[in-house]
Amino acid sequence: MLDFIKNLKFPKNDKEFYELYIQTGYKQYYTNINNEKTAHIIPINGMSLRIMDYQTQKFIYSHTISENEFNYLNHTLKSIERSVFLKPKTSTKKLKIELNGKKKQLLSYVNELLLNNNLKHNSTYLLIDDYKTYAINNNNKYVSSENNIYFSVEYEINSLIYKFRYIMNEFDDYVLLEKFQKAIHKEIENSKLINTLQTDKYDLIMASGQPAILFHECCGHLCEINKVINRKSPFFNKINNRVGSDCLTIIDDKFKLKKSSNLDDEGNIKQKVNLIKDGILENYLTDYWSSKTLNYINTGNSRRECFEQYPESRMFCTYIENGYSSFNNMISNTKKGIYIKKLSDSYINHKNGNMISSIDEGYLIENGKIINPIYGCNIAERFSSILTNIDEIGNDLSFDSIMCSSDSGNIYVEIGQPTIKVKNIQVYQ
């Protein structure tokens, strides 16, 4: 099936970019919603062809992989003299599969665990990606693999909704159940002590690791070149300008948690990039063609979920560099604040810079002491205030992984930060 690409070569020149992108594999979906268990598979089997020059961007994909189909795609694009995005009339369908083995046991155990603790179960999702990519363009020919397991459970404690999410690269039902069990026991204990919170300005102490999702949104996405050149980012034309506190350095680099070739989806090696250095915006995230057209460095950030999507510049592992402050001093020096251990559902309006982020796990701080947990609270602030109001950065950098959604699909990314103190941020309940 793939023999025809062995001798395939595209012309090497700076005026046109050719790319053939082939994927084979599947996505599996295992769900339990309202105690109805289902299992489906979506075949990932097809190829796309991209041809670009300085005036046009042409893209077409097909669910057939063959030399004849490639020749047809190539002829079709070359006969069109304008930018175009073409797709087949038919789409890949979900196929029902038998639910059995460890996946079925996992769904049953989750339901049983919640029932045994008198908790309401809303939904469980287990999503598995497993596919290979074969790609060739003007500059590279490469093969890569993608293996991601995404597990999420929504449940209720005293009519309050909680969400558990976890990502891994190899399926291990024991690890998933162990982490889920610890999470619900902690939430049950916290639910007995929940405080109400007045809408006001608070100092935020953000724990190392997972809360970096906030900076993934309020810095990482705003540095993606496709958003910048379309003027959907407040960072447009802001290189070498101050955008954050002078203690803030944000980096996008190779993956830290996942074993990977760290090639982007154009076969380029991912480069370490200072997005913000000491509060100054230094770089955007780019791919091959944007770097050519803008006369900018190629940072190796071309990414997409599958062959059906047009690639964009997207993040790999975006994190805040270590500082020098200690966790204990940050807490003890905070009169009125919130200690945040977990955030979710972060959103930024790219036009006006307003941000909202839900606090999944947080604790009130009063007079230098962490007291009772809070629930149902949200950060609502301009992204610029969050970046400029960073007051202290700890030295306990750690990393986490999330699935990131954008126009080029849902992709695996990593986030990281040490403990951080951000002063005077609006929080409401």
10 Å CB burial of residue 265 (0-12, 13-18, 19+) is buried
pLDDT, residue 350, reads 76
Q: Which residues pair with 123 in a beta bridge?
A: 33, 154
CA atoms within 13 A on the CB side of 396: 14
CA 38, CA 125: separation in Å to the nearest integer? Answer: 10
CA 378, CA 375: separation in Å to the nearest integer? Answer: 9
Radius of gyration of the chain (CA): 23
Quickly count: other Cβ atoms within 10 Å of residue 230's Cβ. Answer: 10
Q: Could you give all domains of the chain from N- to C-terminal order, each with its CATH number?
A: 3-191 (3.30.2290), 200-428 (no CATH)
What residues have CB less than 8 Å from 77, skipping those under 6 apart? Answer: 49, 51, 58, 59, 60, 84, 86
Q: Where does residue 285 fall: left (phi above 0), alpha (psi -120 to 50 degrees), or beta otherwise? A: beta
pLDDT, residue 120, reads 95
Q: Where are the alpha helices (DSSP H) in 309-377?
A: 327-332
Which residues in the chain show pLDDT less than 50? Answer: none
Q: Quick check: 305 and 408 in contact, CB under 8 A?
A: yes
What residues have CB less than 8 Å from 116, skipping those under 6 apart? Answer: none
Place of tokens 């945040």: 340
pLDDT, residue 1, reads 63
Residue at 158: amino acid letter: N
Taking each helix axis from N to C end, the angle separating 101-116 and 173-191, rounded to the nearest 10 degrees, works out to 20
